[in-house]
């Protein structure tokens, strides 16, 4: 079964996610912003989700992790929890 290593930031609004994405593009560290802004418990680990397998995450995040290009910051992606920025490091 495929697996991937990813990290994400979860916030309440699309505007907040878009602003964080701009800050990352401007050179700010993803993990530092995740620790400061993410509503997900993974924020304490810089947004690190560890290794995930298909079906472990909500569908919209699963799609980003297993179908989008590696190492790019994807999002804002809407889910029932809020808006996510997702970055995938590798897939097996």
Which among 38, 40, 39, 84 is positioned nearest to 59, based on CA atoms? 84
Strand 48-52 relative to strand 73-79, pairing? unpaired
3-state secondary structure of 6: strand
| pTM of the predicted protein model | 0.94
- Cα 16 to chain centroid, rounded: 14
- Please write the tens of the pLDDT for every residue from 46-60: 999 999 999 999 999
- Please write the tens of the pLDDT for every residue from 68-82: 999 999 999 999 999
- The tokens for 49 are 């989700």
């Amino acid at each position: 079964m495929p697996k991937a290593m990813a990290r994400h930031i979860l916030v309440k609004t699309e505007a907040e996610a878009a602003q964080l994405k701009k800050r990352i593009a401007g050179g700010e560290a993803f993990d530092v912003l995740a620790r400061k802004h993410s509503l997900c418990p993974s924020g304490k680990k810089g947004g690190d989700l560890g290794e995930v397998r298909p079906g472990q995450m909500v569908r919209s995040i699963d799609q980003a992790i297993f179908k989008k290009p590696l190492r790019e910051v994807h999002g804002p992606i809407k889910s029932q929890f809020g808006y996510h920025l997702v970055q995938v490091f590798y897939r097996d």
